[in-house]
Structure 1
Amino acid sequence: MTSLPDDTTLTDAGLQARGNGRVLIVACGALAREILALRDANGWTHLDLTCLPAILHNHPEKIVGAVRDTVTKHRAHYDEIFIAYGDCGTGGLLESACTEMGVPMIAGPHCYSFFEGNDAFAARDEITAFYLTDFLVRQFDAFVWKPLGLDRHPDLRDMYFGHYETLVYQAQTDDPALTDIARRCAERLGLAFERRFTGYGDLERHMSDWANT
Structure 2
Amino acid sequence: MRSRADADPATPRVALVACGALAQPAASVVARRGWPVDVHPLPPLLHNQPHLIAGEVRRLATELAASYDVVAVGYADCGTYGALDVVCDELGLRRLPGLHCYDLFEGEDAIATRLDEEPGTYLLTDFLVRSFERTVVRELGLDRYPELRDDYFKHYTRVVWLAQEPDAELRTLAQRAADRIGLPLTVVPTGTGRLEQALADLVPI
TM-score (norm 2): 0.90
Helix, strand or coil at the partner of 2:66: helix
Task: Tell me what 2:195 maps to.
Answer: 203
Task: Tell me what 1:39 maps to.
Answer: 30
- Residue 211 of structure 1 deviates from its aligned partner by 4.6
Cα 1:201–1:103 shift into 2, 3 Å = same
Given that residues 26 and 81 in structure 1 are in contact (C-alpha distance below 8 angstroms), is that contact kept between their aligned partners in structure 2? Answer: yes
- Residue 190 of structure 1 deviates from its aligned partner by 0.6
Cα 1:87–1:58 shift into 2, 3 Å = same
Given that residues 17 and 50 in structure 1 are in contact (C-alpha distance below 8 angstroms), is that contact kept between their aligned partners in structure 2? Answer: no
Cα distance between partner residues in 2 of 1:17 and 1:201: 19
Given that residues 3 and 30 in structure 2 are in contact (C-alpha distance below 8 angstroms), is that contact kept between their aligned partners in structure 1? Answer: no
- Residue 83 of structure 1 deviates from its aligned partner by 0.6
Given that residues 4 and 37 in structure 2 are in contact (C-alpha distance below 8 angstroms), is that contact kept between their aligned partners in structure 1? Answer: no
Tell me the number of residue pairs that the alignment of Structure 1 and Structure 2 aligns.
Answer: 198
- Residues 1:142 and 2:118 are matched in the alignment: no
Cα distance between partner residues in 1 of 2:53 and 2:105: 20
One-letter amino acid of the structure 1 residue matched with residue 57 of structure 2: V
One-letter amino acid of the structure 2 residue matched with residue 62 of structure 1: L
- Residue 120 of structure 1 deviates from its aligned partner by 1.6
Helix, strand or coil at the partner of 1:82: strand
Task: Tell me what 1:3 maps to.
Answer: none
Unmatched 5+ residue regions in structure 1? Answer: 1-14
Identity across the alignment (%): 45
- Give every structure 1 segment of 4 or more consecutive aligned residues whose post-TM-superposition deviation is greater than 6 Å: 16-21
Cα distance between partner residues in 2 of 1:191 and 1:143: 18
Task: Tell me what 1:52 maps to.
Answer: 42
Cα distance between partner residues in 2 of 1:18 and 1:206: 18
- Residue 16 of structure 1 deviates from its aligned partner by 6.8
Helix, strand or coil at the partner of 1:77: coil
Helix, strand or coil at the partner of 2:191: coil
- Residues 1:182 and 2:181 are matched in the alignment: no
What is the root-mean-square deviation in Å for CA atoms of aligned residues?
1.9
- Residue 131 of structure 1 deviates from its aligned partner by 0.9
Given that residues 16 and 40 in structure 2 are in contact (C-alpha distance below 8 angstroms), is that contact kept between their aligned partners in structure 1? Answer: yes
Task: Tell me what 2:59 maps to.
Answer: 69
- Residue 123 of structure 1 deviates from its aligned partner by 2.2
- Residue 73 of structure 1 deviates from its aligned partner by 0.5
Over residues 87-141 of structure 1, what are the superposed CA-to-partner deviations in whole Å (9 max), with x where a residue is unaligned?
A: 1111111012112211100111111122111122122224110011111111101
Unmatched 5+ residue regions in structure 2? Answer: 7-11
One-letter amino acid of the structure 1 residue matched with residue 22 of structure 2: L
Instruction: After TM superposition, list the pairs within 5 Å mapping 1:147-166 onto structure 2.
Output: 147-166=139-158
